[in-house]
Chain A
Amino acid sequence: MLIVVCIKQVPDTTQVQIDPVTNTLVREGIPFIVNPYDTHALEAALQLKDRYGFRVAAISMGPPNAEATLRKALSLGVDEAILLSDRVFGGADTLSTSNVLTRAITLLNEQEEVGLVLCGKQTIDGDTAQVGPGIATRLGYTQLTLVDNIEQLDLLRKRVRVRRKLEGRHEIVESPFPAMITVVRELNRPRYPTVPMRLTSHEAEIKVWNNEVLKLDVNTIGLKGSPTWVSRIFSPEREKGEIVGDGLHDPEGTANLLIDKLLSKDLLAL
């Protein structure tokens, strides 16, 4: 049985700046990383592989250089890596992205039964958290979002029980296979690649599926299939900070002042 992990190459957003003139992200010279949430999805898949013997496939939609992301997945131990890359996929919003990923998973399912699809809860560049649920809807899979613990997995009955991390509470949910799970960081601690695995991954094959393989209607993918239109990107104006109290002479009083201030603005979750 197969687990499919959807991963995305994202710019290291801590290093991204916005061009004040064009209002677009300045991406030149910015290193790409694997979307941090996706690394937890990968880890979850690999742990399930280690424990239950699933096969794991990693898929990623992106330009040819997104191959690096899939190599990283290979170095961590996924069995198969597929890059979904075609000019016609470019400029996609979350809807047309989920169309591409859905078709790829459907094709994989024709070769080997897919039990679970794992995604990070969101990406750090788009921050929509829509692609995972989008895939689930289109595939007709149960969607289990914001999972911070995989409680139980029953291979015979093909069921999975997970814990969802919600605002101030947890929810335990059980679902039959196939299911789509999006994960939060608390789920696990991603592993680090060994050198032999890195060296193997350097030479491993990464399949590239373009639209000749996926055969999707060009009006449902890429820019054409994207109803979302970004009108402007900008950095919000920041209010200038203020200095509260006198930390040098009255550290305790100042700390109290600070806590009051944070509480009054509801910035501390108590």
Chain B
Amino acid sequence: MSSSTIFFAALLVFSTLVFCAGCYRRFSLITAGQPEDRFNRIDMRLKQMFLYAFGQKRVVAKQFGVNHFIIFWSFLILLLANGEFLAKGLFPALSLAFLPQAIHHGLLFLFDLFSLLVLISTTVAVARRLFFPPTYMNSAYVKARSVEGFLILSFIAILMLAYFGLHGAEIALGNEPGTRFMPVSSWVATILASYPSHLTLLVSIFWWVHALVLLAFICVLPYSKHMHILTAIPNIFFATLGRPNVQLREEFIKGGEFGVGRVDRFTWKDLLDSFSCTECGRCQSACPAATTGKSLNPRQVIHAIKTNLLANGPLLKKGGAPVISLIGEESEGSSTEETIWACTTCGACMEACPVLIEHMPKIAKMRRHLVEMKANFPEELLTLFENMEGRSNPWGIAPSERTKWHATMDVQQFEDGKTEYLFYVGCAGAFDSRQKHATVALATILDAAGVSWGILGKEEKCCGDSVRRLGNEFVFDRMAKENVALFKEKGVKKIITQCPHCFSTLKNDYRQYGIELEVVHHSELISHLLADGKLKLKRKVGGLGKILFHDSCYLGRHNDVYDAPREAIKLATGQAPVEFDRSGRESFCCGAGGGRMWQEEQHGERINLNRAKEALEKRPDTICVSCPYCMTMMEDGLKDLHADGTRVKDIAEVVAEGLRQ
């Protein structure tokens, strides 16, 4: 064995140790998390993995995503080439040339081709970082971490250059039998052939450059954000199937800990998430809080968990005390309370994340800690919580007022066997003076279409959406149990809601309480009734001018209902609604979800103003919404902008126009 082989072997052993130590440290920290079952429905998980990891579905959906797709697949293919490189470095006799010739030649061609593609892609990536950085790169936090990006890109580029250099020189020396299958290397060989006396030296220079950069890459990998190379695929495999919008239940046992106030109280999957973040920034650019100048940046929340785990994990595993608080410090590795309260739970971050990181449940868990363990929350929420506990509605209005909206209508009480649907009016539908118009419009539609429906009237209680998203799980738990008992007692099986928050809570969250309800949002029901001809309008709705449709987060992103409201508008007016630039899956929150409805917005631009401005760019006459919160936020936004010419209508009001004489 030559001295250089021994030197290489020593370096390889060293790098492998550094790599393994890094991986061990990180993966063992993940085991500090709480247990959580993510092993169910393996077939669905594999499908998810192929689609999002190997298919890079989310990655390619955005500009420059293809670039990553190429690097990802090239990486997989070139793993083989680099494996051969390392093996050959130790045992020069080992080579892929032992494979059947056709396969070997095929591989040589692929290596050559993909190395070129990677070189182009890394160049594009560097150029993008330098010349067309996305707007969210423009922050101190990102700039500070940008070095790492350039470092890794240059590693990759040097690897490719060295690959071509090495093989070009080998070809020029006539040492490479598969020349025909290596077009790029052959081209390099023609250049290098001009320096025949240096070729042997060049071979060893390129070989060592390749070897050293490769080993450096291996060393750096587990310590950088490029750890995602190892974690992203399992992270996608273990991601929540479907939509992660339902928080896990808590068991209220004396002596228990509630919520997450310390990093090891997160589940292992939460911690794996933190190591899977590539810091691409897509969550940040989609986040309504981050883009309007709040301190919340979903990417930083995930990064803080990782930093906190790295600092505290080893201590916590030994039973020690943490050195950085998870919540409340300004330093890296901590999220401030302000940050945690800024989330609207709109889910845009999770919809954007290419590796399916679940930001929102983590924020909810930290909110739980603040509310349940510390009773520490923004002042406005005290009234909300007391109103919810005392009168089961956010405003604290007497429950006897729940029936006032139908003063001018004849409305039946829900009775099992006599009425098919329960119309769950919701707090806003019953108490909010503006939303009551939508309630009446919907009731009129239901009657006109001959739907059999009834209400719970004074017995109806709040679904508890806001308290759950705000982390007051204790109160939510009680409200959910009460409602489920009430539904069971009354024999309720089918429910119509007009509020997407009620819709999502009754449909998804209550499943955790052992009740399967057939919940339909009024936009879905109306579009079915129109399509089936059960709802016959007296005339086409015409007086509302240009209609712009705004997606509700809890209807769209959280429940995949995008088409129904659009279809209803189209059937009622004869025209598809105008779309926002940010619509559908990429729709922008009104600012009221996640209990933000009940809090002041102290910093940055108000989210509803941002959305209202975006709406006015389309010059609509009517903005159509499908959620009472969106209604309030949009109307307030338009008022602030003095946009008197634009009105806001609920989808039920738009359709009910067609029932007028």
Contacts and interface: CB of A to CB of B under 8 A. Distances in A.
Interface of A: 12, 14-15, 17, 31, 33, 189-196, 198-200, 202-203
B375 A193 contact: yes
Contacts of B371: 192
B254 A203 contact: yes
22 contacts: A12-B390, A12-B398, A14-B398, A15-B391, A15-B398, A15-B399, A31-B390, A192-B375, A192-B385, A192-B386, A194-B373, A194-B374, A194-B375, A195-B372, A196-B256, A196-B258, A196-B373, A198-B474, A199-B252, A199-B254, A200-B254, A203-B254
A195 B391 contact: no
A191 B386 CA distance: 11
B252 A194 contact: no
A200 B255 CA distance: 8
A191 B375 contact: yes
A199 B391 CA distance: 22
Given A15-B399, A189-B382, A192-B375, A199 B390 contact: no
B253 interface: yes
B400 interface: yes
- CB-based closest 8 A-B pairs: A195-B372, A192-B375, A199-B254, A15-B398, A194-B375, A195-B474, A14-B398, A195-B258
Contacts of B385: 192
A47 to B, nearest CB: 14
Contacts of B400: 15, 17
B43 interface: no
B373 A195 contact: yes
Contacts of A191: 375
A202 B371 CA distance: 19
Nearest to B377: A192
B617 interface: no
B379 interface: yes
Given A33-B390, A198-B474, A192 B252 contact: no
A94 to B, nearest CB: 26
Nearest to A33: B390
Interface string B380-410: 0010011000110000001110000000000
A14 B391 CA distance: 10
Contacts of A189: 379, 382
Contacts of B372: 194-195
Choose among A190, A191, A192, A198 the residue with the greatest number of B CB atoms under 10 Å from its CB: A192
A199 B253 CA distance: 7
Contacts of A12: 390-391, 398
Given A31-B390, A189-B379, A189-B382, A195 B399 contact: no
A196 to B, nearest CB: 7
Given A31-B390, A193-B375, A198-B474, 11 more contacts: A12-B390, A12-B398, A15-B399, A190-B382, A194-B372, A195-B258, A195-B373, A196-B255, A196-B256, A199-B256, A203-B254
A195 B382 contact: no
A199 B254 CA distance: 6
Nearest to B250: A195
Nearest to A193: B375
A175 B528 CA distance: 73
B403 to A, nearest CB: 14
A28 to B, nearest CB: 12
Contacts of B379: 189
A76 to B, nearest CB: 9
A248 to B, nearest CB: 13
Contacts of B391: 12, 15, 31
Contacts of B398: 12, 14-15
Nearest to B399: A15
Contacts of A195: 252, 258, 372-373, 474
B49 to A, nearest CB: 37
Nearest to A39: B386
Contacts of B256: 196, 199
